[in-house]
Structure 1
Amino acid sequence: MIATILRQAPADRRASIAAWRQLSDILAQRGNQLGDEDIRRSLHALAVLRPRVPEAVRRDCARAIAKHGRFAPLVALYANDVPAVAAIMLRGAQLSEADWLAMLPATNAMARSVLAGRSNLPHGVYRALASLGSASVALPQPAVAVDAAPAPVVPLHAAPDAAVENGTSQISELVRRIDKYQSTRAQPATAAALHQQRSAFLFETGPDGVVHWVDGVTRGAVIGLSIAEAAFGGEPGTDGVAAGAFRQRAEILNARMMLEGTPADAGEWRFSALPWFDPATGQFRGYRGSARRPNRSETPYGRPVAEDSGDSIRQLIHELRSPLNAISGFAQIVAGQMFGPVSQSYRTMADTIVADALSVQTIIDDLETAARSNSAVPVDPSPSEVVDMGAVVSQVESDLAALLAEQRVDLSISRVGGPFMGLANDANARRMVGRLLTALIDVSETGAILVGQLVTESPHDDMLQLRIVRPATIRFATASDLLDPGFSPEGEAPGAAVLSLGFSLRLVDSLARAAGGRLDIGHNALTLHLRSANSKAEAGLEAQQGE
């Protein structure tokens, strides 16, 4: 049967359509039983016939054989057709896991995104899709609505390429039909839907890099945008990553795009795209890709965050405290042998758990303080409380002795002037000094000496200063780097990964500002400023002497 079909060259469009249907049906039903030469010749014939067969016929064939499409080479052939044809085949094809894995490298991003939207594929296929990157599984293909539009009528006596010569491109025709379908829907968009921020869309560009087709956002926000040139100064467009890849006809991964328009469309996006070429001539035809909103980890420090981010953190902290307290409490029961004798090894393990729980509790307290510092709730409810900062620094030095020994770092903080009475809450003062010194010890090199000064320059000075010389690992880092949670200097100790240097410095600054002070990041040193209580004490003494 295959040999008979291949022997007859189709004389007209009707014969081409008939040969396409027959070959597709035979391969779908008996492809696994055919010889390699027959399979090769059949697939080659289908590739030759495809430009002569109308898209509507190819869609009908895909729909007819998709349910029993278990021959991987045929599925791969249909998967590399136009999106409307490929989506029908890929939504219904039933292949083994090995066949899917073998076929994935030969499919394009649009085809793989359709597969990512399916829920009945083998688990190994989803792992393979994820490993191919965001451009490969960026978005599921939109529902194929083009079936609502009738297929163009082509005369049977027309030349094989008449439809291509006299009509528009397949993509343009697809866009026209999608627009027609959407315009016929009777359900108007509600005001809430218009203001809801969209999260993803598909697009296609021409060979000049200008977007001429889009689905998922308002057309006016993207149509006409170029990925071939970088936009500057916050203007709508793409970044230099996309422009550079376009010049090389290379794959674009997670490039940045800025859009203007309605609140649902405007803002920052991340997009990935692949170049596509004419299968007959090899000519570059443009890019096909998908865009999404950036993940939280992709947004640089300093960008606006959601208004309820503090509430979310506080809720998370509340849910962390209960199990932590339960674990710590049970460990204390074991360590104290409250329910009976316990072996020494178990008591040692329980003591370790209690110590670790205390460390985690400190971290949770820091997170809660940072969340509250961004709200209207004051962090320090009693800023007029007087605390001896000299005693606080000495106590913190004693508390950090174990960490200093473990890191093999020496700490030397001298006193200049005095007394060192400050206006701050005692607990917050200990937290500020402790968190600042711990963070700097964590990023210090082994064998380094951390040098500092506690300074009050005159009895009437309104500020106390705790100056710590920068460790060598951050000697030349800018202030923006030091405040960035993602900054990781060389030599950073394992303990620094729990709460980053940037988080710790911002926490110290928040606590200091709540008490009327600040943290300055200078070229040579980091300086914690706190309001001094010396002038108040001196003024009170002078008033008593005057009486």
Structure 2
Amino acid sequence: MQFDDRLATVLRMQTGSVRAAHTQFRQLLDLAGSAPKGADDSQLETAYERLSVLSAEIPAEIRAMMVREPGLRLRNPAFVAYLASQEPQVAIAAMSNAQLTEDQWEALIPALPTAVRAHLRQRADLPPAARDLLALLGVRDLVLPQPADGTTVIDQPVTQRAKAPAPAPTASPVSPPTVSPARPQPPRDPIEIFLAEAAGSVLELDPALALAGEEGDGGIGAIVRRIEAFQRARAAAPPTPSPEAPRLPLGEQQDDELPEAPQSFDFITDADGRIGWADAAVAPMTVGMALAGRKPDAPARADAATLAAMRRRQPVRDGKIVLEGAPAIAGHWRMDAMPVFSSSGGRFSGYRGRMRRPAMAPAIEAASETPDSHADRMRQVIHELRTPVNAIQGFAEIIQQQLFGPTPNEYRALAAAIAGDAARMLAG
């Protein structure tokens, strides 16, 4: 009498490393897969439990590679069903490598999951009874059936088929019609039902496709005509831009009106007359602008009365000032401002005021302020000569006072005359 203790010996192995776990899993696959019908059920249950523990440690890809090995013997239907309930990789590998009889396949196929049945249909060595059982369960090959007479029909345009000559009718003796028994129709493929319903819903959504489908023949020609009808319908429909779509900075329609130019704004200056704060609408265009500037090309040019009041730290009432820059602030303004002094030391810290547009037209105001008189031109010339005249007066006084040594009386008299003329020019 012989005792087969191979399964018990493998179960007593210690798996302290990854290689040992792989070896035990491979041996349990072979022994459980080839276990005969009358094997010890207790040992098989222990083997299944041990396989479940090892499955948690070994990745599914590696276990699928072990199940797919050519030398593995998968002849036990119960163990094949156990592998079919594992991960998809392991189940597919088991279906590809299982070696069962026709009766065993017929008993196992109804218990398999649907996805596993679909993969099992791809095996070429399945018994005929197993294929018929899969067909009854709705598992079929996803290919087009061939005609019954074995001929291949090629889709042709309607015009070509219409021009084909019809076969001449041949006289034949009239025979009584024979009634053939009706053949049972095979169950319809669920995939065909789904495709037919999907085609109907598409035709309902797109009228162009529905019109194209009414032309008649099916096949590739009908599909091409439907695609062309769909493209024509989509090209004819006007595009509807989404409100969330980005807009290009150039070439787009201007639908936002420009903000209205401000008619007044408040401001605060520092001790030098430079704006340090203004209303938010004009702050980017006015902050940093010097209101007490005297240069002709300054961005802010005030009249003489306003400049004199600001120089003396006095209130400004209805002061005239011209601003240059952005169109929103460019032009003539009227300024009302009050000086601000610090509460601790009484030091002058700037002006706080408001600017407003004048009521009169800017052209009339500009014409009234144009300095065209002879006196104004002379004052402008004297202002331009003030800097060099100061230097001339200083050198004349040096000569007159003999600071660098004795000087003849004639030169001292000329220097005194030059100094006097310079003093009168500077006095204005």
TM-score under structure 1 length normalisation: 0.26
Please tell me whether Structure 1 or Structure 2 has the larger radius of gyration of its CA atoms: 2
The structure where strand makes up a greater share of residues is 1
More contact order relative to length (CA 8 Å, sep ≥ 6): 1
TM-score under structure 2 length normalisation: 0.32
